[in-house]
């Protein structure tokens, strides 16, 4: 999440709705480093983005994961948002493009770096072209498995717990909330942060493959 401050989102658009003005306020706060503003944006748009993606994706559980990925992408690029258009328009465009990208990639013949942890909806995968998958495939899979295990083991406990329940035990978000006796919103927030940390760790190790 960016902590770069900016003034480009502070001037309301002409005829902007109350909701859009509220969003621009959230964005301004977020860019100034206010973590609660990210939460405000997620709480406001979590369900709308879910139903938007649901129109394109059949697997219900997969939609939840795509929603989180959309917010990750949006927050990572928040400094590029200009309030020339409504924040909601910008966010929905990211959601649409991300979902289309997922559907396209799903058709490609690729090899996941974390193949041992591939779940029914293809979560936590960093896709690489299958250029080296030959006679040494068992050694490669073992090395990749170890890298993923190490990355998960290095997560803070509260994040490690939700990642294991989600990606190894394949529990739903509601089931994880029941299992850990946590509010559903907290579970989603923990998974969101855990994925940020885990993706970064795996990308840093990508050169090892």
Q: Ramachandran region of residue 170, left (φ > 0), alpha (ψ -120 to 50) or beta?
A: left
Judge if 91 and 130 occupy the same domain.
Answer: no
Choose among 136, 106, 133, 137: nearest CA to 121.
106
- Radius of gyration over every alpha carbon of the chain, rounded to an integer in angstroms: 19
pLDDT of residue 128: 43
From the number of C-beta atoms within 10 Å of its C-beta (0-12, 13-18, 19+), residue 113 rates as buried
Judge if 145 and 101 occupy the same domain.
Answer: no
Q: Is residue 187 part of a domain?
A: yes
Q: What is the phi/psi pair of residue 181, to 5°?
A: 55, 50
Residue 183 DSSP code: -
pTM of this structure: 0.57
Judge if 102 and 120 occupy the same domain.
Answer: no
Q: Is residue 3 part of a domain?
A: no
Q: Is residue 179 part of a domain?
A: yes
Judge if 95 and 143 occupy the same domain.
Answer: no
Q: How far apart are CA 201 and CA 205, in angstroms?
A: 6
> Residue 126: pLDDT band by 50, 70, 90 thresholds?
very low
Q: Is residue 75 part of a domain?
A: yes
Choose among 47, 70, 50: nearest CA to 59.
50
* Res. 35: pLDDT tops 50: yes
> Residue 136: pLDDT band by 50, 70, 90 thresholds?
low
Q: Ramachandran region of residue 183, left (φ > 0), alpha (ψ -120 to 50) or beta?
A: beta
Q: Is residue 117 part of a domain?
A: yes
Residues 181-194: tens digit of each pLDDT: 988 888 888 888 88
Give the CATH number, domain containing residue 87: 1.10.1740.10
112 vs 150 pLDDT, higher one: 150
Q: Tokens at residue 9, please?
A: 């989102």
Q: Is residue 1 part of a domain?
A: no
Which contiguous run of DSSP H or E holds residue 143?
Answer: helix 137-153
């Amino acid at each position: 999440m960016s902590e770069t401050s900016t003034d480009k989102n502070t001037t309301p658009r002409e005829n902007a709705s109350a909701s859009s003005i509220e969003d621009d306020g959230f964005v301004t706060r977020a860019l100034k480093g206010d973590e609660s503003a990210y939460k405000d944006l997620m709480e406001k748009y979590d369900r709308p983005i879910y139903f938007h993606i649901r129109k394109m994706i059949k697997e219900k559980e997969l939609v939840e994961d795509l929603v989180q990925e959309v917010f990750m992408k949006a927050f990572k690029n928040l400094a590029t948002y200009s309030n020339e258009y409504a924040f909601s328009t910008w966010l929905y465009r990211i959601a649409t493009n991300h979902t289309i990208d997922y559907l396209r990639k799903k058709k490609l013949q690729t090899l996941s770096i974390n193949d041992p942890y591939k779940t029914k909806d293809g979560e936590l995968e960093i896709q690489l072209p299958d250029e080296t998958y030959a006679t040494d495939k068992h050694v490669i899979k073992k090395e990749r498995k170890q890298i993923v295990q190490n990355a998960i083991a290095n997560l803070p406990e509260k994040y490690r717990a939700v990642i294991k329940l989600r990606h190894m035990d394949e529990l739903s978000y509601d089931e994880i909330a029941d299992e850990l006796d946590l509010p559903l919103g907290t579970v989603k927030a923990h998974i969101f942060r855990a994925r940020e940390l885990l993706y970064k760790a795996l990308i840093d190790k990508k050169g090892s493959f």
